């Protein structure tokens, strides 16, 4: 048992075996589908969800976990022997989860430290992994927080949105409302930076959009970690991971994003999350690489 426990939420998109191996506790977010609540714990088939999504009469929505969900995880971690808890969560500009976690942490005083990652999916997940591995090494709280912060400063998250209507309906991207008519028939490339979704490019062809993702990723240089995200686009994601695998010292992680994220980006979207090794790194030579799939 490490002296510091690490907690996150299910938008981190960490596969269960990885979270378990690194001792990471995950608080599930809530997905609301046509009036029914589903806990984001993997019980709802992602493949079935994306198949149903275009035909749903009411768009699915998401809800933050209740305060007690965080309180109980913190309490259990401390009662199990941890002296401190680091709780790292999805960007506060995209969700109220981090605020609820902070309220839940108040009764525990300085024993629980809540962090806004400024990211989502593996942009959050890679920060959580860095914190968990520092904790496993017996690092103190300041060093654990610094390990997550070093990833946060370097992580890059980009995505191709296949159908903009889902993102518009989510209400998470204010600028999309006013320019929807000009964008409906194109694929949109976006970047998540400082907790804000920003437009990178508009591309009409899906093939060109995927190539544009790859080209931007190559500009990141040598990577410590690479994640390929998709919402029911497994084959394209795997192919993209294989192409970019030579850039990273770690195996690329291919993740079918949680339905909580998929409800906002829609089916058939793709994304890349990279953690550059350093600011002066250069791409690795193009040699075959291995790919880790969720």
pLDDT at 176 over 80: no
- What is the pLDDT, as a whole number, of residue 202? 86
- What is the pLDDT, as a whole number, of residue 174? 55
For residue 259, what are the contacts with CB-CB under 8 A and spacing of at least 6?
31, 38, 40, 44, 46, 49, 50, 60
For residue 28, what are the contacts with CB-CB under 8 A and spacing of at least 6?
9, 10, 39, 40, 41, 65, 69
SS3 call for 200: strand
Tokens matching residue 216: 């931007």
- How far apart are the C-alpha atoms of 73 and 78, rounded to whole Å? 9
Give residue limits of the domains in the chain: 4-29+64-153, 156-293
**For the domain with range 4-29+64-153, which CATH number is right: 3.40.50.10170, 3.40.50.720, 3.30.420.40, 3.20.20.70?**
3.40.50.10170
- What is the pLDDT, as a whole number, of residue 288? 33
Which pLDDT tens digit goes with each residue over 239-291? 999 999 999 988 999 999 999 998 888 899 999 999 999 754 333 333 333 44
Which pLDDT tens digit goes with each residue over 67-111? 999 999 999 999 999 999 999 999 999 999 999 999 999 999 999
Residue 121 CA neighbour count, 13 Å, CB half: 31
Mean pLDDT of 122-149: 97
Q: Outline where DSSP puts E strands in 207-250.
A: 223-230
Domains 4-29+64-153 and 156-293 in one fold: no
Average model confidence (pLDDT) across the chain:
88
With cut-offs at 50, 70 and 90, classify the pLDDT of residue 21.
Answer: very high
- The topology (CATH level 3) of 156-293 is Hypothetical Protein Tm841; Chain: A;domain 3 (3.30.1180)
């Amino acid at each position: 048992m490490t002296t510091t426990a690490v907690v996150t939420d299910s938008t981190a998109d960490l596969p269960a075996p990885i979270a378990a191996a690194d001792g990471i506790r995950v608080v599930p977010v809530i997905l609301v589908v046509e009036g029914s609540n589903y806990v984001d714990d993997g019980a709802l088939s992602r493949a079935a969800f994306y198949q149903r999504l275009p035909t749903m009469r009411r768009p699915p929505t998401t809800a933050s976990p209740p305060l007690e969900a965080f309180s109980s995880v913190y309490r259990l971690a401390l009662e199990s022997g941890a002296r401190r808890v680091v709780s790292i969560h999805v960007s506060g500009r995209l969700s109220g989860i981090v605020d609820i976690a902070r309220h839940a942490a108040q009764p525990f005083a300085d024993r629980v430290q809540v962090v806004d990652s400024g990211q989502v999916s593996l942009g959050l997940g890679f920060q959580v992994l860095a914190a968990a591995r520092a904790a496993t090494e017996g690092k103190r709280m300041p060093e654990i927080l610094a390990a997550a912060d070093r990833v946060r400063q370097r992580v890059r998250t980009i995505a191709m949105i296949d159908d903009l209507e889902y993102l518009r309906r989510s209400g998470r991207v204010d600028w999309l409302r006013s320019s929807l008519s000009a964008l409906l028939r194109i694929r949109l490339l976006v970047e998540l930076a400082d907790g804000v979704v920003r437009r990178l490019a508009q591309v009409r062809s899906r093939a060109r959009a995927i190539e544009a993702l790859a080209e931007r990723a190559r500009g990141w240089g040598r990577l410590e970690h690479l994640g390929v995200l998709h919402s029911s686009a497994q084959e394209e994601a795997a192919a993209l991971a294989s192409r970019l695998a030579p850039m990273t010292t770690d195996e690329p992680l291919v993740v079918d994003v949680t339905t909580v994220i998929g409800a906002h980006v829609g089916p058939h979207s793709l994304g890349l999350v990279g953690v550059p090794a350093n600011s002066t790194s250069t791409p690795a030579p193009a040699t075959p690489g291995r790919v880790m799939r969720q």
